[in-house]
Amino acid sequence: MNKKKDKRDDFLDLVPRGTRRLLDVGCGSGGLSMRLKEKGIEAVGVEKNENLCSLAKEKLDTVISGDVENLKLDYPEGYFDCIMYADILEHLTEPLNILEKHKIYLQKDGCVIASIPNVRYYKIILRLILSGAWDYNDAGMLDRTHVRFFGLINIIELFEKAGYEIVEIRRNVIAARGFRVLNFIFFNNLKDFLTYQYYIKAKKSDNLLKTCTDARKIYKF
């Protein structure tokens, strides 16, 4: 009997076949990249929480303790085939700087994958409309440690500015049945509101033109 795929399987499927070395930025306890290590991939993690770091060291090949925004990684150019940012970019003060800085560690044909919460998610919008509240919690979309919030346009711009080309976007859709039916009625035009997270796969780009960023007017309220 086949084991049912979960949403994390869909994310990990973005890791290219033939990947030999993976950097997991913000690896937590190491559970996610351990699944890749079990497939023979060298898994290197970075984690600033000491307790989580200790747990990850039991699972991964190497775990670097510290704040990734203040770390210089001791690896040669092009060492990693894939760099993974699983629910971490929204926790960083300057995610653009990290994406730019880490490009040097990515081999020429390598890729980065990222899972990023969608601030346009319908439950966030409904909460604002119905209660007028933007309440932080210990986990989830409004995790109190989130310092950045992204819609799909912001995600695309972030990677373009950092010098990457997005080659695949997947959606982690989490919605009540009624909203799924409504989305069907509206020919899937509500999909961005029902997307809890975006899964991104990107490669280093030779095109330095930031067409998306230059074309969009940013409104100030």
The pLDDT assigned to 1 comes to 40
The pLDDT assigned to 90 comes to 97
Domain boundaries, the chain: 7-117+147-173+197-208
The pLDDT assigned to 2 comes to 47
DSSP per residue, the chain: -PPPP-HHHHHHTTSPTT--EEEEET-TTSHHHHHHHTTT-EEEEEE--HHHHHHHHTTSSEEEES-GGG------TT-EEEEEEES-GGG-S-HHHHHHHHGGGEEEEEEEEEEEE-TT-HHHHHHHHHH-----BSSSTTBTT------HHHHHHHHHHTTEEEEEEEEEE---HHHHHHHHHTTTTTHHHHEEEEEEEEEE-S----HHHHHPPPP--
- pLDDT means over runs of 10, the chain (221 residues): 62 96 97 96 97 96 96 95 97 97 95 97 94 90 93 96 96 94 94 97 77 66 75
The pLDDT assigned to 176 comes to 93
Task: Select 7-117+147-173+197-208's CATH number: 3.40.50.2300, 3.90.1150.10, 3.40.50.150, 3.40.50.300.
Answer: 3.40.50.150
The pLDDT assigned to 106 comes to 97
The pLDDT assigned to 215 comes to 62
User: What's the mean per-residue pLDDT of the chain?
Assistant: 92
